[in-house]
């Protein structure tokens, strides 16, 4: 029997996950979206054939195997507290994809006797090429972990961590990571312009190079260090550029940036939890 899923919130990430689930063969009848916005409900219903409702009712939640909390972190406390009395005796798996909300806060707002999985997807998930970090609490069964994995795998690849505190490391790595690469692309485009290329040529060359490098890293079977060595001739142009990066201590700069992101994630989690 197809397991049923209720999404609380019908935004971009919900749309991405539903698209992936439907392509994976999930029945539209097994998916319900709860959202106050009538336009979102109509779009999701027409495009993906899922069930949509304006308010969560006990009948929807009682029948669900999994409930995905997909609202903005700033309204999670209000949403969870409103849902708590609606669950009645239902105890579905609860997946949270809200950044910065620790499970301790969800237990306080929603209830302590649920199985929880905290998920941290990133923005490329909207294209089905995302990276998601997941943490399951001790209540979640093997079957519930598999259900969470099946749901989130429709958006890309999954990586499980065995300590919730490591979600901050996931945020600093894959959650914020796309922006690091975008910033590097910006810098390369600016460098290409400074060398005399026009904007169009600079942009096209940089973006295609980034795409090609990513595909080589994911499809060649070699790790990035090996790939770097293969394209770096001693005394050549690539070596000259890499030596410049090394002189500027690129490794230390990147590590420092990621630590800053992780520390900020911890601060925001405390603020959101207290709020």
| Domain segments of the chain as ranges | 5-169, 177-262
**Residue positions forming the annotated binding site:** 8-13, 70-73
- Residue 274, pLDDT > 90, answer no
Give the pLDDT band (50/70/90) at residue 63. confident
The pLDDT value recorded for residue 211 is: 97
pLDDT at 13 over 70: yes
Q: What angle do CA 243, 248, 253 make, to 5 degrees?
A: 125
Tell me the two tokens of residue 209: 């190079």
Q: What angle do CA 125, 129, 133 make, to 5 degrees?
A: 60
Q: What is the pLDDT of residue 87?
A: 84
**In the prediction, which pLDDT does 143 show?**
95
What residues are designated binding site for NADP(+)? 8-13, 70-73
pTM value is 0.89
Determine contact, residues 65/93, Cβ cutoff 8 Å: yes
Span 203-220, average pLDDT: 97
Q: Give the model's confidence band at 273: pLDDT under 50 very low, under 70 low, under 90 confident, else very high.
A: confident
Residue 177 pLDDT level (bands cut at 50, 70, 90) = very high
Amino acid 8: pLDDT: 96
Q: Give per-residue pLDDT as tens, 110-162.
A: 999 899 999 999 999 988 999 999 999 999 999 999 999 999 999 999 999 99
- The pLDDT value given to residue 219: 96
Q: What is the pLDDT of residue 99?
A: 85
* Of 228, 221, 120, the residue nearest 177 (C-alpha): 120
Query: DSSP secondary-structure letter at 2?
Result: P
Q: Is the pLDDT of residue 1 over 60?
A: no
Quick check: 83 and 113 in contact, CB under 8 A?
no
Judge: domain 5-169, CATH 2.40.50.140: no
Does residue 194 register a pLDDT over 70? yes
Instruction: Tell whether the model's pLDDT for residue 275 goes beyond 70.
Output: no
What is the average pLDDT score of the chain?
93
The pLDDT of residue 213: 97
If you average pLDDT over residues 41-64, what whole number do you get?
A: 90
Specify the CATH number for 177-262; select among 3.10.20.30, 2.130.10.10, 1.10.260.40, 1.10.3730.10: 1.10.3730.10
Q: How far apart are CA 111 and CA 170, in angstroms?
A: 25
Residue 89 pLDDT > 80: no
Residue 100 pLDDT:
86
Tell me 138's DSSP state: T
Confidence at 57, pLDDT banded by 50, 70, 90: confident
């Amino acid at each position: 029997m197809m397991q049923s899923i209720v999404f609380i919130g019908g935004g971009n990430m919900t749309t991405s996950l539903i698209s992936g689930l439907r392509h994976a063969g999930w029945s539209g009848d097994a998916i319900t979206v709860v959202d106050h916005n009538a336009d979102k409900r109509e779009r999701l219903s027409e495009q993906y054939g899922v069930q949509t409702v304006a308010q969560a009712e006990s009948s929807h939640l009682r029948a669900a195997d999994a409930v995905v909390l997909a609202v903005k972190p700033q309204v999670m406390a209000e949403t969870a507290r409103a849902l708590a009395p609606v669950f009645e005796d239902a105890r579905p798996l609860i997946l949270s994809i809200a950044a910065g909300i620790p499970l301790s806060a969800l237990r306080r707002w929603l209830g302590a006797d649920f199985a929880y999985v905290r998920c941290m997807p990133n923005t490329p998930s909207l294209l089905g090429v995302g990276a998601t970090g997941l943490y399951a609490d001790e209540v979640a069964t093997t079957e519930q972990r598999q259900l969470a994995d099946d749901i989130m795998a429709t958006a890309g690849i999954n990586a499980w961590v065995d300590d919730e505190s490591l979600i901050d490391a996931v945020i600093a790595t894959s959650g914020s990571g796309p922006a690091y690469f975008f910033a590097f692309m910006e810098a390369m485009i600016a460098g290409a312009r400074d060398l005399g290329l026009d904007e169009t040529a600079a942009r096209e060359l940089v973006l295609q190079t980034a795409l090609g490098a990513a595909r080589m890293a994911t499809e060649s079977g070699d790790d990035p260090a090996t790939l770097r060595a293969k394209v770096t001739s001693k005394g050549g142009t690539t070596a000259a550029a890499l030596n410049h990066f090394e002189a500027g201590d690129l490794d230390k700069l990147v590590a420092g940036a990621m630590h800053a992101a992780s520390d900020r994630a911890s601060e925001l989690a405390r603020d959101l939890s207290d709020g």
